[in-house]
Amino acid sequence: MDDVGGVKKVRRRRRRRSSRWGRSEGASWLPEGKVSLPTVSVSGTGVVVLVLMAMILSLPLMMGHRTPETLTLTGLVLVCGAFLAVLVSSWKGSAERTLSMPTTGWWVFFGLLTFTVLLQVLPIRPLAAWLGPYPEALWNHPAFEPSSWSPNPAWAIRSWAVFAALFAVAWLAGSLRTRQRNWIWLAIVAMAIFQGIYGLISHASGAESIFGIWERNNDRFVHGSFSNRNLYAGYLSLAWPLVVTVWWLRDMPLISRLPSELKVTGSVICGAIIGAALMGSGSRLGSVGGVIGMLTLLLLWTRYRGHLKGIAVWPVWLAAFAAFLLATWYGLAPLTDRLSVTTMEERRFQVFALMFSDFPARWWLTGVGLGGFEAVFKLIQPEEMSGWWDYAHNDLLQWILEMGLVGAILLGMVIAAIWKNATTRLERIPLYAGLVALVVISLGDFSWHIPGTQVVLAIYIGVLARPDRSRNSMNGNNKDEHKRRRLKDERLQNHDSS
């Protein structure tokens, strides 16, 4: 037992020395017996973590009114935050290393996206005549003379800027060490829990505004600080698996040293809050996506619990059961009523049908320009179909329509990277589950276009698309890894005994 205790002490000392995030060198004793003031070492990596946390905690609070002005402001915050994080990432400071640069695959992805958007916005009339989504009648109009492939170049440039920011966020999140990313997970969980509690309290108290700034668009449902309950449900579905799992991640700040009883309690209560708020939103697709995400979490955790060092799966089942129990007590009638009247006659299904029937096949192949859906849909929108259709309510269809074959290639590159680097590490399981939930929701909504959700989604993809170099990774050569670790432990024990 003494040898085991010695090994643990050596490991703890090494972990403290290897920390790169906000490292504080403890107070040292002077010869006279006095204590010197602690010195805090700061690095660019630590500032990157702070910037990412600030974006995670601020962007969802700005979703109270979805107008062009608020969307522009949130997009600007996202772009400026990512730009600042990239600038400070190269600052070494007191750390021993800086973040690694993106690999060739990442640059190919970004270069292909940038080159395509550049062609879409350049004023090249032959390109506009060949690839532009312009009907013949518009070309014959005397006051109409298109000059670019995209019908809305300004929106295409803005959309590219957001994608560039998300690309940077994904790269930075994937480059951070596990201990640094743990603070990112805490920020995501904290904001999700706040959204759940605030949404439930606002609905229960009959609040008429969001933070006293924006009027609540629908006081019959829970929607937190989001103006749209469906977007609110998408955000909660993305974060729900992580809210339940974060209590069991190793070396999690503020949590890892808690007793198991408190971890179970926190996991159950927080999971129940998110589940109740999600069901209370009345979002049909959001609730279904959230349930599928949690089932994915349970499946992965149960299937690979032997690789997760004996971590019991029953707290996850208990958290899921408590969520549905609290949601039932709070009231599921609005959600069940909406599910019962769901038909194929809903307007979003009509939009899908119009896209397939009225858009030329060439548009699906070449793309109509990033952010160009609203402009081209107005060409075919029937008079009897009212509403402002700036999104297709299907993120996959809209992406392929706007980017064409290039968009399909880029999407395939992301899927291939995630598949290639798939692993059963506990840190990644809730990310897979949240991603599955949001993919389901994207088939009938536009949560992938909302900055408050985009930043979390980019972090998830950035981590999942990078190789897992952690010693806890269970990829191919896990037996050799266990053998190396056992030999290392034996050497440490022999060193302590000598």
Residue 282 is predicted with a pLDDT of 83
pLDDT band of residue 246 (cuts 50, 70, 90) is very high
User: Tens digits of per-residue pLDDT, 100-127?
Assistant: 888 899 999 999 999 999 999 999 988 8
User: Tens digits of per-residue pLDDT, 6-32?
Assistant: 545 545 555 554 444 444 334 433 344
Average pLDDT, the chain: 80
How far is 282 from 331, CA to CA, in rounded Å? 10
Write b or e for each residue in 367-388: b if 16 or more Cβ atoms lie within 10 A of its Cβ, otherwise e.
bbbbbbbbbbbeeebeeeeeee
How far is 110 from 116, CA to CA, in rounded Å? 10
How far is 326 from 309, CA to CA, in rounded Å? 31
Residue 28 is predicted with a pLDDT of 39
Q: Which long-range contacts (CB under 8 A, 24 or more apart) does 489-496 make?
A: 489/7, 492/6, 492/7, 492/10, 493/3, 493/4, 493/6, 493/7, 496/3, 496/6, 496/7, 496/10
Report the domain count for the chain: 1
- Mean pLDDT for 216-223 is 83
Question: Is 12 inside a domain boundary?
Answer: no
Question: Is 353 inside a domain boundary?
Answer: yes
User: Tens digits of per-residue pLDDT, 342-383?
Assistant: 544 467 788 888 889 889 999 999 999 998 998 888 888 887
Question: Is 186 inside a domain boundary?
Answer: yes
pLDDT band of residue 327 (cuts 50, 70, 90) is low
Question: Is 8 inside a domain boundary?
Answer: no
How many CB atoms lie under 10 A from the CB of residue 170?
Answer: 25
CA distances, 384 to each of 359, 380, 387 (Å): 19, 12, 10
Q: Which domain holds residue 55?
A: 48-464
Question: Is 40 inside a domain boundary?
Answer: no
User: Tens digits of per-residue pLDDT, 314-326?
Assistant: 565 566 566 555 5
- Given a cut of 90, whether residue 457 has pLDDT beyond it is yes
